[in-house]
Structure 1
Amino acid sequence: MDAGNTAWLIAATALVLFMTPGVAFFYGGLVKAKSVVSMMMMSFGSLGLVSVLWILYGANMSAVSGESFFEFAGNPFSDFGLAGIADSSDDLLSTTFGATFAIITVALISGAIADRAKFGAWMIFAGVWATLVYFPVAAWVWGDGWIMQLGEAMFPGAGVEVLDYAGGTVVHINAGAAALALALVLGKRIGFQKGVHKPHNVPLVMLGASILWFGWFGFNAGAEGTGALGTEDTVVGLIVVNTLGATAAAILGWLIVEKLKDGKATSVGAASGAVSGLVAITPACANLAPGWALLLGIIAGAACALAVELKWKLGYDDSLDVVGIHLVGGLLGALYLGFFATGTGLFVGGGIEQLVIQFIAAIVTLVYAFVVAWIIGFAIEKTIGFRVKNEDEIAGVDTVVHGEEGYALVD
């Protein structure tokens, strides 16, 4: 890797790492004032724990030999602690870049259990889920696993493969499905009903969304041009313009729906719309013409604005709309490629093959992530307890769990 590519990969790694504090700000502003420390700590807990696990064995698990269609994950002990690549700067940089994706995926899940989760229980869940779900799914999609081989296995010679450039399945469907499972395990917050739980700090939400958008250029364009994922630099411009355009269009899509539905376009809606657009374009950023990326953004913003209402109708308490934004947005981005992926999409010169393999990859990932997350969460709840006591939830989890307050106001 030449000096320019090395510098870009370092910068992109820093950008994606910065996104996890961005998640902390975004989520922290959305919860009540007595939960902001707890909410942000779950993101920082993910940053600490998942980084260590990735270096010890997660990177090893995230790639398989490719010799068999049925390999689940790589051997966690094949290069324990990355001792085998300690003298390879390129390999270490690429591995570190991969770590930042694992970190933020786990952090995203925490938004579904805001205001009511024990920090220790969350950390146990984060470590086990990363080991059993994120690391293997990363191997399936990016590490020569079965999803990477699915196109050739199902349609030999058709020239199609599952498209997930930066993590529609690995990151967003994965996290969204796990979030739904934990929301069901922990149950509803006290007083759960529409309009009761409001963001305590809207500027913090806007700051978090801005950091996420800023970091997402590293998220989507980070590997391009570096050789980190076996790519070349021919589509960097396409990735960058699509990351801008789809996100901007999603803001408009969300605000239009919000205005028509509620009579007002809100700043929280604009921030949420931006995130929904970022989620949807993540798997598709390198495989859509800019016009199709704009359409995806509009659809994602509008669809996610409607999807966040499902929790009131269906009765699950996904506190910060991880399901409505990340699961729905991730599914939209993954399936949209089946219709509009350049050269292989159903409406742009391809056949049904792309849509079929996109659907299979998305649904299997969703089901696997949900089931394993539910089992882990249920086991924790029934043993050490995952949810705080009702009186602690009312008092505020910050002081009960962490002994701190987000805002120490004095005369």
Structure 2
Amino acid sequence: MNTGDTAWVLVSAALVLLMTPGLAFFYGGMTRAKGVLNMMMMSFGAIAVVGTLWVLFGYSMSFGRDTGGGIIGNPFQHFGLQGLLSTTTNVPLVGTIPEIVFVGFQGVFAIITVALITGAIADRAKFGAWLVFAAIWVTVVYFPVAHWVFDFNKDAAGNPIGGWIGQGLGVIDFAGGTAVHINAGAAALALALIVGKRKGFGKDPTHRPHNLPFVMLGAGLLWFGWFGFNAGSALGANAVAGYAWINTLAAPCAATLGWLLVERLRDGHATSLGAASGAVAGLVAITPACSAITPMWSLVLGLLAGVVCALAVGLKYRLGFDDSLDVVGVHLVGGLFGTLFIGLAADPGSPAAGSGLFSGGGLELLGKQAIGAFAVMIYSFVIAYAIGWVVNKTMGFRISSDHEAAGIDVSLHAETAYDFGGRSSGAFHPSPLPVPAPQPEKVDA
């Protein structure tokens, strides 16, 4: 065990956990004022549900002993994390860090992946239905996909027994372009189709972001946490972490410029929402590639990702699906773009040591990247649609039109985020005590 590596991964895990409250601010600012609390609650609900299931059986399904074919780990091997809490004289390790630290680091990855989906169904989804969907989806989609992509276990003889995408096929995905962003983006598209469009979608000006400082604060927290997300995936305080850290700086900087350029040319002005969205798009695209391409190629990837994602977010109006906060345009498209870009620009001198098309590696790596990316996308979309359909048919996924018009915060949570016209924020009482009418003043004779 290396104490420096352990300390770095512990700090990285804390940074990644901070990303989910950061996402709550990012998404919350993009919603209407009467839905901001619900939006943030869905992120915190993801923390509660996924964190609980991760300790019970999620880690074991993702990184337990493979049950055959690189499909899933044994959910009972480490049920309740049994066998991982040994004494200090016999600590199970993953590389140079205690396995229990690795458990925590991967657990916060699962949390942020589920929370990302919520942006597609803002302002109109029942909170209870969302929690049920999150619990089922993370169990039957995320935990197996994490095993496919991130599990590189070997048996006692050194034979690979990990996941079929990362270890078997040889797909390069350093920190989760497939398992996190493509996975969440495909599920978000499925839910957007199940839940349906918001009232006045594409026409109602009140659907614009209500608090842009929240959006920029959230984007800043996400970027801050993303250094733990990417550089922490090196699982050590080493040169690989530094390589990933620099690329995590470079790509979103260029992506911000790319997004703002599109806005300036298309709309005549650059916006704060565009700057925040561009940074996130660059972070998404560099996530799988941060150990595989040079910083110069990271700038190119970021610039292109900013342009591509800025153009992609408008497709929901042409295609007619209401992805409220552009999860599909940023995370699905950005994740696909970054994952496939590795097949073009992977550098053999990078830590990942892959050879892309531009380095003379031919199309082999690009083909592997495409198989891994589209396999996750199709699996996540199909299963998410099935889960969402069942939840919608059994308990209903969407709030009533009256509740949507009144505001989801008041309707579902009996709270408001702001004090409008003397109404107190916090608990909302729909039937306040009557105020006595003023009495005429008595005048002495």
Q: Residue by residue, what CA displacement relative to the aligned partner does 1:211-270 show, whole Å, maximum 9, x if unpaired?
A: 0000000000113252xxxxx823222211100000000000000001111111000000
Match of 1:229 in 2: none
Q: Which amino acid counterpart does residue 174 of structure 2 have in structure 1?
A: Y
8 Å contact from structure 2 (residues 60, 75) kept in 1: yes
Query: RMSD of aligned C-alpha atoms?
Result: 1.3
Residue in structure 1 matched with residue 33 of structure 2 by the alignment: 33
Between 1:189-198 and 1:262-271, the stretch displaced more is 189-198
Deviation at 1:409, TM superposition (A): 3.8
The Cα of 1:334 is off from its aligned counterpart by 0.3
Contact 2:12 2:232 in 1 (8 A): yes
Query: Runs of 5+ in structure 2 lacking a partner?
Result: 93-97, 152-161, 349-354, 423-445
One of 319, 326, 331 as aligned partner of 2:331:
326
CA contact (8 A) 1:28 1:204 kept: yes
Contact kept, 8 Å, 1:225 with 1:234, in 2: the verdict is no
| Residues 324-355 of structure 1, C-alpha deviations (whole Å, 9 max, x = no match) | 00000000000000000112101113121100
Match of 1:188? 197
Match runs of 1:289-308 below 5 Å: 289-308=294-313
Counterpart check, 1:136 vs 2:119: no
Q: In the alignment, what sits opposite 2:155?
A: none
Query: Which stretch of structure 1 is more off in the superposition, 284-293 or 235-244?
Result: 235-244
**Is the Cα contact below 8 Å between 2:263 and 2:270 reproduced in 1?**
yes
Shift of 1:86: 1.4
Q: Which amino acid aligns with 1:188?
A: K
Q: Which residue of 1 aligns with 2:77?
A: 78
> Which one of the candidate residues 196, 212, 226 is aligned to 1:216?
226
The letter for the 2-side match of 1:341 is: A
Is 2:119 aligned against 1:114? no
Whose helix proportion is higher, 1 or 2? 1
Q: Partners of 1:150 and 1:81 in 2: how far apart?
A: 28
Contact 1:85 1:91 in 2 (8 A): yes
Shift of 1:302: 0.4
What letter matches 1:171 in structure 2? V
* Residues 187-196 or 341-350, more deviating: 187-196
Q: Which residue of 2 aligns with 1:380?
A: 391
Q: Is the 8 A contact 1:292 1:340 kept in 2?
A: yes
Q: Are 1:174 and 2:183 an aligned pair?
A: yes
Alignment of 1:306-317 (within 5 A): 306-317=311-322
1:34-70 deviation per Cα after TM superposition (whole angstroms, max 9, x unaligned):
00000000000000110010010000010254584x2
1:359 to 361, 366, 370: 370
Q: For 1:117, what is the secondary structure of its paired residue?
A: coil
Residue type of the alignment partner of 1:382 = K
2:106 partner amino acid: G
> What amino acid sits opposite 2:180 in the alignment?
V
- TM-score normalized by the length of structure 1: 0.94
Alignment-derived partner of residue 22 in structure 2: 22
Of stretches 86-95 and 255-264 in structure 1, the one that deviates more from structure 2 is 86-95
Secondary structure class of the residue paired with 1:86: coil
Letter in 1 for 2:109: F
Shift of 1:194: 5.2
User: CA 1:47 to 1:225, structure 2 compared with 1: closer, same or farther past 3 Å?
Assistant: closer
CA distance in 2, matches of 1:150, 1:139: 11
Look at both structures and tell me which one has the larger radius of gyration over its CA atoms.
2
2:257 matched to which residue of 1? 252
| SS class of match (2:18) | helix
Specify the alignment match of 2:210 in structure 1: 200
Partner of 2:429: none
Q: Is the 8 A contact 1:63 1:145 kept in 2?
A: no
1:410, 1:381 → 2: CA distance?
A: 36
1:148 Cα shift?
Answer: 2.0
Task: Give the number of aligned pairs.
Answer: 396
Which residue of 359, 377, 385 corresponds with 1:348? Answer: 359
Contact kept, 8 Å, 1:112 with 1:321, in 2: the verdict is: yes
Match of 2:99 among 91, 112, 122: 91
Measure, in 2, the Cα distance between the counterparts of 1:240 and 1:307. 27
Distance 1:194 1:297, change over 3 A: farther
What is the rounded CA distance, in whole Å, between the counterparts of 1:224 and 1:96 in structure 2?
15
Does structure 2 conserve the Cα–Cα contact (< 8 Å) formed by 1:194 and 1:312?
no
Match of residue 398, structure 1, among 409, 421, 433: 409
Residue in 2 that maps onto 1:60:
60
Deviation, 1:288, is 0.5
Partners of 2:301 and 2:191 in 1: CA distance: 29
Q: Distance in 2 between matches of 1:266 and 1:375?
A: 38
Match in the other structure for 1:155: none
> CA 1:67/1:368 → structure 2, altered by over 3 Å: closer, same or farther?
closer
Q: Could you tell me how far apart the structure 1 residues matched to 2:145 and 2:405 are?
A: 37
Residues 104-157 of structure 1, C-alpha deviations (whole Å, 9 max, x = no match): 000000000000000000000000000000000000011111102343xxxxxx
**What CA distance in whole angstroms lies between the structure 2 residues aligned with 1:225 and 1:137?**
20
Q: 1:82 to 1:347 in 2, by over 3 A?
A: same
Identity of aligned residues (%): 58
